[in-house]
Amino acid sequence: MSHLDPTRLPRWQTLTERAKDLPHLADLLDADPDRFDRFRIDAPQMRLDLSRQRWDADIRGQLVALAEDAGIDATRKTLFKANTFNPTEGRAVLHTALRASVEGSIDVDGTDAVAAVHAALDRMRTLADAVRDGTWRGATGKAIRDVVNIGIGGSFLGPAMVSAALGDSDRPNVHFLANIDGMEAARLLPALDPTRTLFIIASKSFGTLETRTNALTVRSWLLERGVAPAELRKHFVAISTNIAAAAEFGLPEENLLPLWDWVGGRYSVTSTIGLPIAIGHGFAAFERLLAGARAMDEHFRDAPLAANAPVLLALAELWNQNFLGTESHAVLPYATALDLLPDYLQQLEMESNGKSVRRDGSPVTTRTGTILWGNVGTNGQHAYHQLLHQGTAPFSAQFILPQAAGHHFDHHHDWLAAHCFAQAEVFARGRSAADVQAELEASGMNPQAAAAAAPHRAMAGNHPSTMLLLDDLGPESLGALIALHEHKVFVQGMIWGINSFDQWGVELGKVLGTTIHDALTDAGGGAGVADTTTRALIALFRSRSG
Ligand code: F6P
């Protein structure tokens, strides 16, 4: 048996037993009037209510002990030092160094990672300031009005999520070009003045097809619109670990911000990849984002496991998924500004922990990763919440509500909060058919009709959820929210015994995509493709008109 198998830990069996015959969440809530205080966790920039998880103090204690047995106390500290957490890519995992204070130092292969980060931050500040104050000039000497981040996955979702959360950019407009679907470029480019647009090529590898294709399309677009080849450098900067590939694209080194192997793409929003945030909202806002993340890092590193927000969030969802059998996790921000948060967390959680083997190559025997989805409340209430309330698929949810509205329509915010709290209450308690029937009868319906109607209106409840009250939508809060989830993913991955930091699963599709593209575009029309369905699809696709 692999020593990384969590089911060999004695607590796993204890918890399996505890999951049987667990009372309904409504009963758990009613049995303990102090439950809210008992399950409330305060962390930087936020307060978490875990009282609507389907657990009691004993189960929580067992889960914390499980985390201890899995070595979380030591490994969380190692996340702040040189480590070998990503052996299948031969890389350290050090996103915490991205927001470490300048006095720190972490040696990675003879280089101080913290010093490298601070040197890069200085360059990032200079660049962001120059674009914002108009010192950076385009080919015809005009200041930059629009900035387009070309990148995908971690080189897109983090900066896009934070930029959207912070609201309209106060200087250049910031746009994102991610998809290889030409529709994105086709819709974006006509609105831009080539002489006043700066493109950021954000790609850790500088090899991602979507990003390279969009970058080449944009370069042609600039050239076609009269920007001289020698002036292109005034319209491109890049962020990458791959200096050679960026140079090959024609970018001088001074237009290149560094990134490091020890930052995973989905963990990179607090790195130089955050440049669109610094340009759109100012470097000071970016520093505040880092400060919020740092505060959560310190909480994660230092707080006892039993009072540690990322640890308890991780354990609650592990409990839901591995012991109570939830099938998906809904992230429901009650904040339109956080509309991209579910997308961002989808990559963070699903690309990190969607793994079938443990770090030693042995197959996992528990469900890993989480099918995460979601959208802003209250919109979802008028769409898919029907399934959540009366469907049959078990799920858990995370509500996120900023306490400060961030606008002056206060009465809207009260309604928003009220609906957020109402949904969480209904998820937990549901409504029995007997209660519905009694209510209908009390309202004058005859007992037979009431009995017939009741099952259609009853709701099982018993759906666990976390309520996360965020201070506001400011950069510190966003930084803390990001780090909270990064560390949650880390804790779960460590308990499952998997490597949360590689993503080999996405590679085969990329390779096959290239083979199929070659077949699809050559005159043979897919003759070299082995799979008969793919070959038929190529033929059908090529038969399109237009
Ligand atoms: O294909 C997956 C992936 O490698 C992600 O992990 C990454 O965030 C994204 O592609 C973009 O990669 P890059 O920044 O190297 O272009």
User: 224-239 pLDDT, tens per residue?
Assistant: 999 999 999 999 999 9
Is residue 182 situated within a structural domain? Answer: yes
Asked whether residue 386 falls in the same domain as residue 485, the answer is yes
> Among 95, 200, 503, 504, which residue has the most ligand 1 atoms within 8 Å of its CB, making it the best to mutate?
503
Is residue 353 situated within a structural domain? Answer: yes
Q: What's the CA-to-centroid distance between 210 and ligand 1, angstroms?
A: 10
Residue 310 DSSP class: H
Q: What is the pLDDT of residue 142?
A: 97
> Among 89, 91, 155, 200, which residue has the most ligand 1 atoms within 8 Å of its CB, making it the best to mutate?
155
Q: What is the pLDDT of residue 546?
A: 52
> Among 177, 205, 242, which residue has the most ligand 1 atoms within 8 Å of its CB, making it the best to mutate?
205
pLDDT, one tens digit per residue, over 69-128 is 999 999 999 999 999 999 999 999 999 999 999 999 999 999 999 999 999 999 999 999
Mean pLDDT to the nearest integer, 434-458: 98
Residue type, 366: T
Q: What's the CA-to-centroid distance between 49 and ligand 1, angstroms?
A: 34
Is residue 83 situated within a structural domain? Answer: no
The counts of H helices and E strands in the chain are 22, 13
Q: What's the CA-to-centroid distance between 202 and ligand 1, angstroms?
A: 10
d(CA 433, CA 418): 25
- Whether 413 sits among the annotated catalytic residues: the reply is no
Q: Please, are residues 243 and 253 in contact by the beta-carbon 8 Å criterion?
A: yes
Nearest to 345 by CA among 76, 499, 166, 154: 154
Q: What's the CA-to-centroid distance between 145 and ligand 1, angstroms?
A: 28
Query: How sure is the predictor about 522, in pLDDT bands with cuts at 50, 70 and 90?
Result: confident
Structural domain count, the chain: 3
Give Cα separations from 248 to 231, 253, 498, 532 (angstroms). Answer: 16, 11, 37, 38
Asked whether residue 404 falls in the same domain as residue 475, the answer is yes
Asked whether residue 339 falls in the same domain as residue 472, the answer is yes
d(CA 512, CA 509): 5
Helix, strand, or coil (residue 526): coil
% the chain with pLDDT above 70? 99
Query: How sure is the predictor about 525, in pLDDT bands with cuts at 50, 70 and 90?
Result: low
Q: Which residues pair with 111 in a beta bridge?
A: 108
pLDDT, one tens digit per residue, over 147-191 is 999 999 999 999 999 999 999 888 899 999 999 999 999 999 999
Q: Please, are residues 82 and 91 in contact by the beta-carbon 8 Å criterion?
A: no
Can you read off the two tokens belonging to residue 322? Answer: 């591995």
Asked whether residue 154 falls in the same domain as residue 256, the answer is yes
Q: What is the CATH number of the domain that holds 355?
A: 3.40.50.10490
Ligand 1 atom closest to the Cα of residue 152 is 11
Asked whether residue 121 falls in the same domain as residue 214, the answer is yes
CA-based Rg of the chain, rounded to a whole angstrom? Answer: 25
The shares of helix, strand and coil residues in the chain, as percent rounded to the nearest 5, are 55, 10, 35
Is residue 336 situated within a structural domain? Answer: yes
d(CA 542, CA 528): 15
Asked whether residue 133 falls in the same domain as residue 257, the answer is yes
Ligand 1 atom closest to the Cα of residue 507 is 1
Task: Identify the residues whose C-beta falls under 6 Å from ligand 1.
Answer: 152-155, 203-205, 208, 211, 265-266, 351, 503, 506
Q: Cite the beta strand spans of 345-414 per DSSP E.
A: 372-374, 395-402
Domain boundary among 260, 287, 314: 287
Is residue 18 situated within a structural domain? Answer: yes
Burial class from Cβ neighbours inside 10 Å (0-12, 13-18, 19+) for residue 221 reads middle
Q: What's the CA-to-centroid distance between 121 and ligand 1, angstroms?
A: 22
Ligand 1 atom closest to the Cα of residue 211 is 16
Q: Please, are residues 190 and 221 in contact by the beta-carbon 8 Å criterion?
A: no
Can you read off the two tokens belonging to residue 359? Answer: 């770090």
Asked whether residue 365 falls in the same domain as residue 494, the answer is yes
The closest residue, in CA terms, to atom 9 on ligand 1 is: 153
Mean pLDDT to the nearest integer, 511-528: 82
Q: What's the CA-to-centroid distance between 265 and ligand 1, angstroms?
A: 6
Q: What is the pLDDT of residue 151?
A: 98
Asked whether residue 39 falls in the same domain as residue 125, the answer is no
Q: Which of 184, 351, 476, 486 is catalytic?
A: 351
pLDDT, one tens digit per residue, over 10-48 is 999 999 999 998 999 999 999 999 999 999 999 999 999
Q: Which of 81, 407, 510, 517 is catalytic?
A: 510
pLDDT, one tens digit per residue, over 461-474 is 999 999 999 999 99
Is residue 140 situated within a structural domain? Answer: yes
Mean pLDDT to the nearest integer, 327-356: 98
**What average pLDDT does the structure give for the chain?**
96
Q: What's the CA-to-centroid distance between 388 and ligand 1, angstroms?
A: 32
Asked whether residue 244 falls in the same domain as residue 356, the answer is no
Asked whether residue 400 falls in the same domain as residue 470, the answer is yes
> Among 152, 209, 260, 345, which residue has the most ligand 1 atoms within 8 Å of its CB, making it the best to mutate?
152
- Cα 530 to the chain's mean position, in Å? 36
Burial class from Cβ neighbours inside 10 Å (0-12, 13-18, 19+) for residue 114 reads buried
List the domain range (segments joined by +) for residue 279.
95-287
Is residue 90 situated within a structural domain? Answer: no
Query: How sure is the predictor about 395, in pLDDT bands with cuts at 50, 70 and 90?
Result: very high
Is residue 119 situated within a structural domain? Answer: yes
Q: Could you give the strand order of the β-sheet that contains 256-258, starting from the edge strand earlier in sequence?
A: 173-177, 146-150, 197-202, 236-240, 256-258
- Whether 77 sits among the annotated catalytic residues: the reply is no
Asked whether residue 525 falls in the same domain as residue 539, the answer is yes
Give the number of other Cβ atoms within 10 Å of residue 543's Cβ: 8
Q: Write 70-77 long-range contacts (CB < 8 A, 24+).
A: 70/6, 70/9, 70/494, 70/495, 70/497, 71/494, 72/305, 72/311, 72/491, 72/494, 72/495, 73/305, 75/490, 75/494, 76/300, 76/301, 76/311, 76/487, 76/490, 76/491, 77/301
Question: Taking the chain, what is the end-to-end CA distance rounded to the nearest angstrom?
Answer: 59
Asked whether residue 44 falls in the same domain as residue 111, the answer is no
d(CA 511, CA 154): 20
Burial class from Cβ neighbours inside 10 Å (0-12, 13-18, 19+) for residue 33 reads exposed
